[in-house]
Amino acid sequence: MPVTIAIPGALRGFADDQTEVEVEAATVGSALNLLTDTYPELRHHLYLDANTLRNFINVYLNEENIRHLQGFDTVAKAGDLVTIVPSIAGGA
């Protein structure tokens, strides 16, 4: 089913400058896999290894962080929006 993935500005350059990518997927994990299969450079920025997101990467399904749902196994429905949101930190 069609799921839309919103690409943050910082990573857009690794996805042909697209703001959104639509994929056919039943779970958030498979949606992200399809995205990174198409744009392999994105995988390096999103994942620590095959199945672990980097600490400062958060993935939302609509309003909910998937860490608070079923992670990559979270079921996605047609029309759902997956958003990749980095945590922003720093300091002197």
Partner 1 sequence: MITLRVNHLEAMRTHGEQDYPHECCGLLIGRFSGNGSKVVSETYPISNAREEEHKRNRFLIRPEELLRGERYAREKNLEVVGFYHSHPDAEARPSTYDLEHAWPTYSYVIVSVREAYAQDLRSWEMRADRTQFDSEEIVKGETSCR
Q: Which residues lie near partner 1 (CB under 8 A)?
A: 8-13, 19, 56, 58, 60, 65, 83, 85-92
Cα torsion angle, 10, 18, 7, 36, sign: negative
φ, ψ at 39 (rounded to 5°): -125, 80
CB of 63 to partner 1, least distance (A): 9
CB of 16 to partner 1, least distance (A): 14
**Residue among 41 and 73 whose Cβ is closer to partner 1:** 41
**Residue among 56 and 77 whose Cβ is closer to partner 1:** 56
Non-local CB neighbours of 91 within 8 Å, separated by 6+ positions:
none
